[in-house]
Structure 1
Amino acid sequence: MIKKASVSILVGAALTLSSVNGYAKTWVEFGSEYEQYSDQSQKGAPYNYEQLNSLTPYIRFFHSPDSNEWNVWGRVFKKHYPNENLYLNNQTTSMTDRAELHFTKVIRRGNWRFRPGVGFRYNGYDIDRYEKEYRLYPQVDYFLNSKNQLFANGHIYMGDSQGKRFNDTVAETYTDWGYEAEFGLIHRINNVSSIRPHFYTEYDDFDNNYRINYWQFRLVYSHKIGRSSIHPFIRYGLGRDVTDQPNETVPNHPDRHGASRDINYSRFGVYGNIGLSGKWNFIYETYYEFADFKGYNRDAPDMTVEYPDRDKYFIKFGIQRHF
């Protein structure tokens, strides 16, 4: 019921905003994403990574009035797993649904531009599990001059979750929290090109499960060609510490609490759009992800076992309609 309500609200908002007058900036996007992994089980992987292959049709929308003092955007998608038969009992335990809605306001004060906001995200599963995030966006920009801009983007969230975690025999409810942030510089090279070097960090605290502390260095080059744009990017992982935190002693693994391993990943790729007309855009993105994969091993000196890398190839295509 929660899934259906979230999807209905988001799609209804998209259709409503697409009918506003021409003085507002509004677009709706329909597309699909594909993620592909390779089978590394013969090299020692704990399972066939191909079970994670997914096809994900989605809908996105964005709306801002002519003054651009506030905006609202949202997204809904449904993930399909063509290799679901590789899961235990032929049922995927990975995320299958997402619906989210976010609102931000723009406040200008001299060289400062504040972009506070609120948001909601729901992740659904085919099993007895879900995650809900309630977000606050404390975002800000500072314009050094006409060519250089400092920025800080991101959010803080409180989570309401349900699922089986350490020692659970049935799905339990939990309260989680975390944040994501990116901060750095936008340098405008000329009227059509810019470069954005910045850092990204993510922290998640999942009760009776684990903590994640992740840092990346990111670099994006942007170039406009008429109505089109291209944005090659690099996201280099500086470290991603995953630390177990069961609330109770794990049977046969009393030292599991506090066991930590660096499960890092990096990406490189490109995204952008091709302007088909004044109203229509073709959206694209592709990247390759290099991903370490490590598990817990009580008998190892650092309680870590290394598995074959779980690399991923990603591609997305979409059509965007402006109103």
Structure 2
Amino acid sequence: MTGTGETPDTKGTGQVADAVKGNWVDTIAPAASRPYLRLSRADRPIGTWLLLIPCYWSIATASLMQGTFTIMHLWIAIGCSAGAWLMRGAGCTWNDITDRDFDKAVARTRSRPIPSGQVTVRGAAVWMILQSLIAFAILLTFTWTAIALGICSLLLVCIYPFAKRFTWWPQLFLGLAFNWGALLAWAAVTGTLHWAPVLIYIAGIFWTLFYDTIYAHQDTDDDALIGVKSTARLFGENTSKWLKWFMAASVSFFGAGVVLALAPATNVLQLVVSLGGIWAFGWHLMWQLSRLNIEDPEKCLVIFRSNRNAGLIPVLFLAVAHFV
């Protein structure tokens, strides 16, 4: 992969190079909305899942700790789902505004709406604000602690696109931003914070370091040419060794958070089922590692996308634990 050559969208359809083939944006969405939906990565839904799943982890754990799942918990899950879609869209729009010059120089990203000329910077800014305002309206239905946490998250969202300019660890900044929902969702359910969601948050950060390092290996050649930093470039051939440590840390912190939340008030079988989900999550990460080839960008993308299933495994087990 190099920084030169034809724009991947050679058919003039506006499709983005790494979008899911046959996605709903490119096939059934109104033509006028497609550039803006592409800005929001609606044609690449994996990012929304990765932003949302830590919310589900906390909602499922907190409701299990409380011993019930109510209509309020259901609304929080729905609100977090909608909010994740909107704020991921707003964040990606902000990222594309700030990265528009870099994106022109990278083969995989030059087909995005701004560098390809589908959307102006001003139009993108208006779209970003609109998404943010709708998400804020949803946030206002949560507790005051959750609202405060939601507002605080904007600082991380604003900083992240610039991280690759000044640190080899931009994936860490992504982890800080992408897993904030673990704290926010817990506060929405309980009205306060606890060490358990903090540990779950840290687990999510290590998970992000794991999957986004894999993702970044798609662009190492282009990133080197234009001077963009990443953990993929930093680790190089030692990537697998680092990923093993990230995997172990994610599973360990996640398990500790669940034990801290559930051990005092949950029956042993519920705790065992919940920890079984975390073990299965770790197994999935090991499966990814066993198939990783950092020299194959297409395989890196496939493995990266598989993290939706990895993250949903603990959610399923925590849900089952409510019934045992």
TM exceeds 0.5?
A: no
Larger radius of gyration: 1
**Higher RCO (C-alpha 8 Å, min separation 6):** 2
Which one has a larger percent helix, Structure 1 or Structure 2? 2
Which one has a larger percent strand, Structure 1 or Structure 2? 1
Q: TM-score, normalised by structure 1?
A: 0.29
Q: TM-score, normalised by structure 2?
A: 0.29
